[in-house]
Structure formats: structure tokens, C-alpha cells
């Protein structure tokens, strides 16, 4: 069996201990080398890097020099948020695959990988359960005023009437519109079925057949906005989806409907959302992702009564790093088995 050299780069989120599961691949002919990305020593460093990549692109992120020093003889690179950019790819003449242990792939130069015919493996559903749990939780929190009531009680106030008092509904009386039906959106739908909610879906990137097999209804965007009591974002951010929710789209929503975003801030025109919330043109919102993080202390969101805010926590779970590596290991086992079979022909 030919030895396959794999370089794994761990960081402050996917730690050395968690990444060590990659050593299971040694049974498949892999030789594992592990290095630490010392530029991302803790979770804060990692989330800052994610935001930098999302907002300013791969070019804004530094090349990790230790990766460059260790990659020339490697055939597979496994990273979390460390960049695999053109400089890295030029230093890896033997590269046969790149692995990113996260859902997003902003830290990889896709064009260069494509030119070099190098496959990219990622763990697209690693935080799908965590984020889908949070999305449903934020729907309930905003509708039932859970965060507001907690806040008031900490202030010594016993508040029984809220701005949404006339349209607090049970979930089994609500229609939920999901914009996006990938790993996260589909899980949200599954969980909402337990509440007997009606579910509408808009996703131009997934076939109608794939969505309808789950027993949910496919509609166009305007139909979803007009009919839903909750509108929840689950698309990946791209040139096609940037600011897909703007002034026109918010105007289509019911005055009693809630807007939920646990996906990406760039999917939304923030100023348009602030305007409709301030003017009470929609019922409320629950937001986990922001154009600037941490949220500035003078942000207009903080002046609104009809919004629930969390500090980019939706994907947070102690299970997520472990799940990321577990998925990566299973995908690489398949990849290495395929390489072995090809070499045996």
C-alpha cells in the first residue's frame, strides 16, 4: 500500500486533541503530520478569521508560514480556517486533495484548485444540528418574548404586555418560510414538523424534487414572504445571494411576521431591516449574525424593542469540532480507498 502524506493544521477551535482522530487514517496508508496554526490560538481568533474571510475575502487573510514550510511533500492538506491560497498551492506540487473542516469554504482559492484539478472536501453539515436548533429556538424566543422577559425581570420588572401581544401565536398555527434548504434548512423543517407548523421553502439551488420529497411545499420568494409568519434564512452567501433580503422583500412580509437570521449577515440589507423594524412594518426579528462583530454599542438594533439578538452563537456547540473531524475522517477514508483502488488497477 502506497503511503499518502497528510498535513493537518489544528487551531484554537479544532484542537490538537480533536484533530488527532485523523490518525485513524493511518490504517488506510496515511502518514499524518500535525501542526498548530498559532495565529488562531483560541475561539475568538477563529471567529475573527471567519468574519474577515466572509467580509473581505481570501486575499485579506494571512498565509500561515508554518503550513508553507511543511506542505511541499504532502498529498493532502487538512485545515479548519487556515488559508489554502495560491501561495500555498504553489508550494504543494504533489497535492491530490484539500480538506476544509467547516461548512464555509471562504478560506480556499477555489479557482486555483479547479485549475489544478484538485478536489475539495469540506464538512458542509458539521454545525447543521447546532444552527437548526438555534434557528427554531430564536423563533420561539422572539415570538414568546423569552429574552425580553428575562431582561426585564433582571431589572426587577414584571412585564406582561409586549409590542407583539396581539400576534403571539402557537407554532402549530404558524407558517414558516425557509429561504434555503441545504443541510441546515432541511433540519429546521424536520424539527418544525414536531410543532405541526406549515412549511414553505424557497431555494433556487436545490431541485423541487429534492425538497418536496420531505413533504414541504416549494414556492417562489414572493409567495413565501407574503404567506409566512416566520421567514428564516438558510442560504450560503454568494454573489447571487448577497442582500437577497432588502427593502422590496421586507415590504412583502406580513406586518406580524418575524425575520430570523442565523446564516450570514451579508444575505440582508441591514439598513432596510432596521427601517422596517423601527416603523413596525414587520412583527420582529431574531438575529445572530452581523455586518460588524462585535456589534457596535451605537448600533440601531440596540434601540429596538422588537428584536432578539445573540452574539453569533447559533453554531456553537461542544459537539461541532468533534463532528467536523469525524465527517472529515469518513470522507477521507472514502477518498483514500478510491486512490488505493485506482493504484491497484
Which residues have a catalytic role annotated?
Answer: 264, 293, 312
Cα–Cα nearest to 125, from 332, 333, 323, 339:
323
Phi, psi of 123, deg, nearest 5: -110, 70
Phi, psi of 307, deg, nearest 5: -150, 145
CA 27 from chain center: how many Å?
A: 32
Neighbours of 54 (CB within 10 A): 17
Helix axes 128-144 and 183-193, enclosed angle (nearest 10): 50
Distance (Å, rounded) from C-alpha 225 to C-alpha 334? 41
Mapped to the 3 state alphabet, what secondary structure does the chain carry? CCCEEEEEEECCCCCHHHHHHHHHHHHHCEEEEEEECCCCCCHHHHHHHHHHHHHHCHHHCCCCHHHHHHCCCCCEEEECCCCECHHHHHCCCCCCEEEECCCCCCCECHHHHHHCCCCEEECCCCCHHHHHHHHHHHHHHHHHCHHHHHHHHHCCCCCCCCCCHHHCCCHHHCEEEEECCCHHHHHHHHHHHCCCCEEEEECCCCCHHHHHCCCCEECCHHHHHHHCCEEEECCCCCCCCCCCECHHHHHHCCCCCEEEECCCHHHECHHHHHHHHHCCCCCEEEECCCCCCCCCCCCHHHHCCCEEECCCCCCCCCHHHHHHHHHHHHHHHHHHHHHHHHHHC
Amino acid at each position: 500500500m502506497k503511503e499518502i502524506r497528510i498535513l493537518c493544521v489544528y487551531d484554537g477551535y479544532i484542537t490538537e486533541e480533536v484533530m488527532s482522530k485523523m490518525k485513524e487514517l493511518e490504517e488506510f496508508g496515511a502518514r499524518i503530520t500535525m501542526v498548530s496554526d498559532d495565529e488562531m490560538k483560541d475561539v475568538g481568533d477563529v471567529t475573527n478569521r471567519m468574519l474577515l474571510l466572509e467580509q473581505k475575502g481570501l486575499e485579506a487573510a494571512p498565509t500561515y508560514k508554518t503550513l508553507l514550510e511543511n506542505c511541499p511533500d504532502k498529498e493532502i492538506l487538512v485545515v479548519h480556517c487556515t488559508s489554502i491560497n495560491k501561495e500555498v498551492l504553489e508550494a504543494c506540487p504533489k497535492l491530490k486533495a484539500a480538506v476544509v473542516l467547516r461548512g464555509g469554504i471562504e478560506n480556499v482559492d477555489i479557482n486555483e484548485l479547479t485549475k489544478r484539478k484538485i478536489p475539495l472536501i469540506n464538512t458542509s453539515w458539521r454545525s447543521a444540528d447546532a444552527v437548526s436548533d438555534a434557528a427554531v429556538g430564536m423563533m420561539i424566543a422572539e415570538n414568546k418574548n423569552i429574552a425580553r422577559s428575562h431582561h426585564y425581570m433582571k431589572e426587577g420588572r414584571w412585564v406582561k404586555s409586549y409590542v407583539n401581544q396581539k400576534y403571539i401565536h402557537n407554532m402549530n398555527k404558524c407558517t414558516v418560510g425557509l429561504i434555503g434548504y441545504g443541510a441546515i434548512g432541511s433540519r429546521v423543517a424536520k424539527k418544525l414538523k414536531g410543532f405541526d407548523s406549515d412549511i414553505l421553502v424557497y431555494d433556487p439551488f436545490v431541485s423541487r424534487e429534492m425538497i418536496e420529497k420531505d413533504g414541504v411545499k416549494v414556492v417562489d420568494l414572493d409567495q413565501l414572504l407574503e404567506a409566512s409568519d416566520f421567514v428564516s434564512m438558510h442560504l450560503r452567501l454568494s454573489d447571487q445571494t448577497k442582500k437577497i433580503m432588502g427593502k422590496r422583500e421586507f415590504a412583502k412580509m406580513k406586518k406580524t411576521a418575524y425575520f430570523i437570521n442565523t446564516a450570514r449577515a451579508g444575505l440582508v440589507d441591514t439598513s432596510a431591516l432596521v427601517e422596517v423594524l423601527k416603523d413596525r412594518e414587520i412583527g420582529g426579528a431574531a438575529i445572530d449574525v452581523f455586518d460588524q462583530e462585535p456589534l457596535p454599542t451605537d448600533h440601531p438594533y440596540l434601540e429596538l424593542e422588537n428584536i432578539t439578538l445573540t452574539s453569533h452563537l447559533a453554531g456553537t456547540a461542544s459537539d461541532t469540532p468533534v463532528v467536523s473531524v469525524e465527517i472529515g475522517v469518513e470522507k477521507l477514508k472514502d477518498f483514500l480507498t478510491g486512490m488505493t483502488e485506482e493504484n491497484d488497477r
